[in-house]
Amino acid sequence: MDPKEHDHKKLGKELDLFAFSDSVGKGLPLFTPKGSVIRRELERFIVDEEIRRGYLHVYTPDIAKLDLYKKSGHYPHYKDSMYAPIEIDDEQFMLRPMTCPHHFELYLRKPVSYRELPMRIAELAKLYRYEQSGELMGLQRVRSFCLADAHIICTSEEQAVDEISKALDLIEYITSVFGLALDVDYRYRLSLGDRANTEKYYKNDAAWETGEDLLRKLLIKRGSKFEEAKDEAAFYGPKIDIQMKNVNGKEDTAFTVQYDFSSPDRFDLTYIGEDGAKHRAFVVHRSSIGAIERIMAFLIEKYGGAFPLWLSPVQVRVLPVSEKHNAYAKEVLHELKAANIRVDIDDANESLGKKIRNAKTEKIPYLLVVGDAEVEAKTVSVDSRDHGKLEAMSVADFISRATEEIKSRK
């Protein structure tokens, strides 16, 4: 594989998936209709899967008072990578770099019983970070991104560790759907703090020792290979990072699961225990599919732009052999659209060979050719990108095949 040919920036332009504009600003991606299809499918996939696993999906604002981020600790720790404060009516606001303080405020709106925990608050959240210009790179590192974020409020360390393990189960399921293999396409990294660096990390040596040991033992119990990396933790606690490399060999964190022993104190996160008294809660941060932009970049490169059927912007193209077959081709088009298949038609006055070449350049999974024989038999000739030419079949049979393939996300 030539890395240059699979580079998501090159393929993104060739397949018309996303663009950048100097008039909009550096690191602020614009998704085309085709790129938006992939993004929407990823978002629907992760929201549906998380809801099945007991997550409570919410919506919170992209902006909040600066005081909220001072309270959470993000402002001093992330100040250099946050957009500048916005002053309105003598108050200062920030575009959010994180979702956690918003979710904690939701949690604090009413008393919570131990019976309601663990509480998994999730959101597809738009976040903003002012990355340095030299760090920006296609969709992999941007200044505006959508994070599949969640914060899990727990009653105990044991419950928190169990939730971290379930979050890793979810991540391993997601990666299997994408065809990504553990220790081949991605790896685990245990990211640790540095007790001496009190500027970067929340000061609580005992909590750091306990948290790091809990994550280390969990990974060992799961039989996972991992490396330890000092000084890579979040400021509020250690984390398990899922590391992936792009086609050029640069590694980034794709997904992450974090143990937080700072926020429960900062936000006074409590629950009513079985004894009727208030108890300090425990917090897990996790991102299941990571930033939609970053996972899109990885997947564009993984598939070389030839997306599986469920993710393909155009799943099927109907190709009439000549103009006299256009009427039947349009009937086929409407049947597929009615079955919620993403389909278009190439009825240009061009040779069939050219139409096929154009479709293959666009990496469309299925081509349905209709000529005299197909019109007469009310069938379609099927050319599969991944399996070659298939037998002619009825439109109903093709819809059944395609629908099953989409549903299975193979």
**Same domain for 318 and 238:** no
Residue 309 has pLDDT above 80, yes or no: yes
**Same domain for 206 and 161:** yes
**Same domain for 89 and 60:** yes
Q: What are the structure tokens assigned to 135, written together?
A: 């760090």
Higher-confidence residue of 245 and 52: namely 52
**Same domain for 258 and 398:** no
| pLDDT tens by residue, 61-101 | 999 999 999 998 878 777 788 899 999 999 999 999 999 99
Global pTM reads 0.94
Q: Residue 320 — φ and ψ, nearest 5°?
A: -70, 140
- How many domains is the chain built from? 2
CA Rg value for the chain: 25
What pLDDT score does 327 carry? 97
CATH number at residue 339: 3.40.50.800
Answer with the one of 288, 303, 318 that is the final residue of a domain.
Answer: 303
Residue 1 has pLDDT above 60, yes or no: no
Report the share of the chain in percent with pLDDT over 70: 98
With tokens 């018309």, the residue in question is: 16
Residue 333 has pLDDT above 90, yes or no: yes
Answer with the one of 252, 280, 303 that is the final residue of a domain.
Answer: 303
| pLDDT tens by residue, 183-236 | 999 999 999 987 767 666 667 778 888 889 999 999 999 999 999 999 888 777
**Same domain for 387 and 263:** no
What pLDDT score does 237 carry? 84
What pLDDT score does 4 carry? 78
| pLDDT tens by residue, 150-161 | 999 999 999 999
| pLDDT band at residue 31 under the 50/70/90 scheme | very high
Residue 270 has pLDDT above 90, yes or no: yes
**Same domain for 62 and 194:** yes
With tokens 């970067």, the residue in question is: 200
What pLDDT score does 218 carry? 94
**Same domain for 316 and 276:** no
**Same domain for 326 and 299:** no
Domain with 341 in it: 309-408
- Give Cβ neighbours of residue 284 (< 8 Å, ≥ 6 apart): 151, 152, 154, 160, 163, 164, 167, 257, 258, 259, 260
**Same domain for 144 and 181:** yes
**Same domain for 333 and 246:** no
CATH number at residue 243: 3.30.930.10
Contact yes or no for 77/235 (Cβ under 8 A): yes
How far is residue 378 from each of residues 175, 236, 313, 331, measured CA to CA in Å?
40, 64, 27, 10
Residue 5 has pLDDT above 90, yes or no: no
Residue 288 has pLDDT above 80, yes or no: yes
